[in-house]
Structure 1
């Protein structure tokens, strides 16, 4: 267990409103149109930051800067140089003062509690270090073509300017999932953070100069939907990496198609959390808590569709309700607080509507179902952890992504029925199986339609393990060495070592 008292005691550093500009070509600048918008602290409902509202002209300036940096040297920077930049960035991100600063800003931006944001911030540097190593290990391959005296090989190269459009639930981490491999491959990047929680990404940009990242290689443009639309449709963008809702992902893909920009999409999910009767119930309930209520349930991988075998359904429900009733919703700067606020007012309203819809459709509310009885702040966007029983696959709560602290329990009898229910969804991002039967584990892993399957655990991710979805949960991968396919172009080279003329009308 973590010794909470040993953790740094952090507080809100702002007594007024913080102000942020755009970061373009290594400089902090106002939006060309002079517009700004505000960011609200989800824990209090109060404005805490004013942010430059980038428009199409600002996006164009950022893309131009990224192209100039790409053509001006970064594309031809050696692997050792790219690796060194990423290592220096990792060194800065590993400093305790930077960890604490980014953790506090993400807390103020997203409503998460400090134990969550500190944990995330401590991992940021590891992505930089890993891809520093990947940068120096990128290589092509020789191909034994069936032609005499011909030497054929491949060379990986950068794509060009990458647009990263990032979400509001874990802004910096999910941005690094794109920035690190993009830079390792020799690309430059324009980052457009979500308008809901843009500040932590802008605060991250402050470390770029200190780490010696060349001007224009990384640019950050905050803005609202107009900025995102301008970036995804910009003809100077060669590849778009997007994380967000499936509906918005489709719009991004449509815009990218006009320029034939490459696209990778990490989209929504409705992950099944499947508990068999031979599972360790305490372990499974801990996993349900992690998959449904950590980060306020605001995870694309949320395992809130909980499938429980008939014979242990009541026992799991009882244990889960007992644990949920003890979840502490408190001051986000208090290390004992386990759950914070939802990130913005619209999401808060949406989750409450989903809860009402579940009741109307016949799901049985067991605990929660609205605001906490004693919220930490009357203006915060807090929703009590909520559990529904007697959920069926036809209900909205089992079919739509809620993105809030709401879990619904469904019954199943057989392994085949569990597979059928698990796959009865448009999504396929993640899943979990709780069992001690090794044979069942293998059958379930192969049968479940998902990009990630956790067995007797939940919410595990690593820079070294590829992550992505199937069906409506996305296209392409993030993390691992596999992600480098998304950020490189493969060039095939043919060398005729014979140097003799061949029949020009024959292919071979």
Structure 2
């Protein structure tokens, strides 16, 4: 709740910094003005993993650039949106500016395919993003897509291993690993591989998990539903069949309520395993040993995803090399995987482009209007 309020405050401050341009003209006596104008109606289609905050992330830039918005929450988490809309109803926002449309996947498809929608901002899976793009194509509707991730974490021999373990553990168990930013695979340099694997396995095994309503002291709650639990379980089983080594976890945790999977570490993984190439979206950490930064970067870039990445090293030169060569929209160095509000949350390839952070994201919600004024 506090982070959502902070984000609204941050985006509101940008309302004073929506800038146009004055461009030189080849014609004598002519001035060219570039203005920013609202698009019209923005559709915000949401996933279930951050159902409250992501409403603000879609709404704030849309409204402060003069648009109206229709929010379509996930059918898995409609109550958060209902509570958000109650707060909006208590504000001075005029009726019809903020709107909510509940429903299943077909509702989202109808919204994406509507000629009345001028822009679609979507956060979610690659598969759903592709369907939204197809539905929007007949009207050439503007798209802002933040899709899946398979974030690599590179741990070099000179890294502060305790820092790397804390950050990667935090990144892996936040929201039960159901975050597109999360460290989804680790490449650790051989010299420190055994030590790192021992430390991260201990951290994962010590994770406190359970029902957050019954235990306020936990680090991790359940997965979203039974299908998610079964998917994570199947991915771990497949990895073990392909030769991965189970270090800790690996089982469904029967806690009486909710869909819980033990925090899991898999070693002896390699780049052709599905668990190293496709999203897990659960508390499972696969690890591959490498012999150099160059090898780690090559393996990290060998992916159809490109949202976030991370690196752990004390060597500034290696950090600068990774910044140049990692093919991801964001790289976190010696810290957990989570963007700052004032940063630019963006990716390449199947991760699409996350908008709404900073001025570049803000301008996604406007169109350029070029005016030729001949005096």
Q: Provide the residue aligned with 2:123 in structure 1.
A: 243
- TM-superposed deviation, 1:145: 2.1
Q: Is the 8 A contact 2:347 2:353 kept in 1?
A: yes
Kindly report which structure 2 residues correspond to 1:134-173, keeping only aligned pairs within 5 A, or say none. Answer: 134-173=14-53
**Paired residue for 1:219?**
99
Compare 285-294 and 314-323 and name the one that shifted more. Answer: 285-294
Q: Counterpart of 2:166?
A: 286
2:228 is the alignment partner of 1:357: no
The alignment of Structure 1 onto Structure 2 pairs a total of residues equal to 374
Residue 110 of structure 1 corresponds to which residue in structure 2? none
Q: Pairwise mapping of residues 278-427 of structure 1 onto structure 2 (< 5 A)?
A: 278-333=158-213, 334-372=215-253, 375=254, 377-427=255-305
* Structure 1 position 430 matched with structure 2 position 311: no
Report whether the alignment pairs 1:272 with 2:161. Answer: no
Give the direction of change, closer, same or farther, for the CA distance of 1:317–1:476 in structure 2 (3 Å limit): closer
Greater C-alpha Rg: 1
Which stretches in structure 2 are left out of the alignment for 5+ residues? none
Provide the C-alpha distance between the structure 2 equivalents of 1:265 and 1:246, rounded to a whole number of angstroms: 9
- Of stretches 145-154 and 487-496 in structure 1, the one that deviates more from structure 2 is 145-154
Give the deviation of 1:146 after TM superposition. Answer: 3.0
Q: Secondary structure of 1:388's match?
A: strand
Secondary structure of the 2:143 match is strand
Which 10-residue stretch deviates more, 256-265 or 143-152? 143-152
Q: CA deviation at 1:304?
A: 2.1
Please give the TM-score of this superposition, normalised by the length of structure 2.
0.97
Q: 1:177 aligns to what? A: 57
Q: Given the two structures, how large is their TM-score scaled by the length of structure 1?
A: 0.72
**What is the distance in 2 between the residues matched to 1:129 and 1:394?**
44
Q: Which residue does the alignment assign to 1:460?
A: 338
Instruction: Report the CA distance between 1:197 and its aligned residue.
Output: 1.5
1: distance between equivalents of 2:356 and 2:242? 37
CA–CA distance in structure 2, aligned partners of residues 343 and 278 of structure 1: 38
In structure 2, the residue corresponding to 1:478 is in which secondary structure? coil
Distance 2:127 2:274 in 1: 17
Distance 1:437 1:402 in 2: 31
Corresponding position of 1:253: 133
Aligned equivalents of 1:424, 1:468: Cα separation in 2: 18
Say whether residues 1:446 and 2:324 are aligned partners: yes
Mapped to 1, the partners of 2:332 and 2:339 lie a distance apart of 10
Rounded Cα–Cα distance in structure 2 between residues aligned with 1:360 and 1:134: 52
Equivalent of 1:263, from 143, 148, 151? 143
The aligned counterpart of 1:31 is none
Residue 433 of structure 1 aligns to a residue whose secondary structure is strand
Matches within 5 A, 1:110-121: 121=1
Contact 2:184 2:279 in 1 (8 A): no
Match of 1:130 in 2: 10
**Alignment-derived partner of residue 68 in structure 1:** none
Q: Distance in 2 between matches of 1:137 and 1:340?
A: 40
CA-CA distance at 1:290 after TM superposition: 1.6
TM-aligned CA deviation for residue 210 of structure 1: 1.1
Q: Structure 1: how far apart are the matches of 2:354 and 2:262? A: 35
Structure 1's 150 and 476: CA in aligned 2 closer, same or farther, altered over 3 A? Answer: farther
Q: Is the 8 A contact 1:189 1:217 kept in 2?
A: yes
* TM-superposed deviation, 1:475: 3.2
Distance apart, 1:476 and its partner CA: 5.2
Q: Please, which runs of 5 or more residues in structure 1 have no aligned partner?
A: 1-120, 498-508
Question: Matches of 1:345 and 1:331 in 2, distance apart?
Answer: 15
RMSD of aligned residue pairs (Cα, Å): 1.1
